[in-house]
Structure 1
Amino acid sequence: MHTIKVKRVYEKPEAEDGVRVLVDRLWPRGLKKEALPHDYWAKEVTPSPELRTLYHRGEMPFAGFAEGYEEELNGSSGAAAFVEKCRGWLQQGDVTLLYAAKDTGKNHALVLQAWLCRQLR
Structure 2
Amino acid sequence: MIRCKRAYESPTHEDGRRVLVDRLWPRNCRKEALQLEQWHKEVAPSSELRRAFKRNELDFEAFRERYRQQLAAHPEHWWPLLDMAGKRERLTLIYAARDEEQNNAQVLAEWLEEQLERQDEQNSPPCYAAKNPS
Normalising by structure 2, what TM-score? 0.81
Counterpart pick for 1:39 among 29, 37, 40: 37
How far apart are 1:12 and its partner, in Å? 1.2
Indicate how the Cα distance of structure 1 residues 77 and 90 shifts in structure 2: closer, same or farther if over 3 A, else same. closer
Counterpart pick for 1:98 among 94, 99, 108: 94
Equivalent residue letter for 2:107: V
Partner SS state of residue 5, structure 2: strand
Query: 1:113 aligns to what?
Result: 109
Indicate how the Cα distance of structure 1 residues 60 and 89 shifts in structure 2: closer, same or farther if over 3 A, else same. closer
Indicate how the Cα distance of structure 1 residues 54 and 28 shifts in structure 2: closer, same or farther if over 3 A, else same. same
User: Mapping of 1:28-107 within 5 angstroms?
Assistant: 28-79=26-77, 82-91=78-87, 93-107=89-103
Equivalent residue letter for 1:30: N
User: Relative contact order (alpha carbons < 8 A, sep ≥ 6): 1 or 2 greater?
Assistant: 1
How far apart are 1:78 and its partner, in Å? 2.6
Query: 2:120 aligns to what?
Result: none
Larger radius of gyration: 2
- How far apart, CA to CA, are the structure 2 residues paired with 1:120 and 1:87? 9
How far apart are 1:96 and its partner, in Å? 0.2
Equivalent residue letter for 1:55: F
Counterpart pick for 1:10 among 5, 8, 24: 8
The alignment of Structure 1 onto Structure 2 pairs a total of residues equal to 117
- How far apart, CA to CA, are the structure 2 residues paired with 1:35 and 1:17? 14
Deviations for 1:70-106, whole angstroms, at most 9, x for unmatched residues?
Answer: 0000000433xx3344324542521000001000111
- How far apart, CA to CA, are the structure 1 residues paired with 2:48 and 2:103? 15
Alpha carbons 2:86, 2:116 under 8 Å: kept? no
Alpha carbons 2:43, 2:71 under 8 Å: kept? yes
Superposed structure 1 runs of 4+ greater than 6 Å apart: none
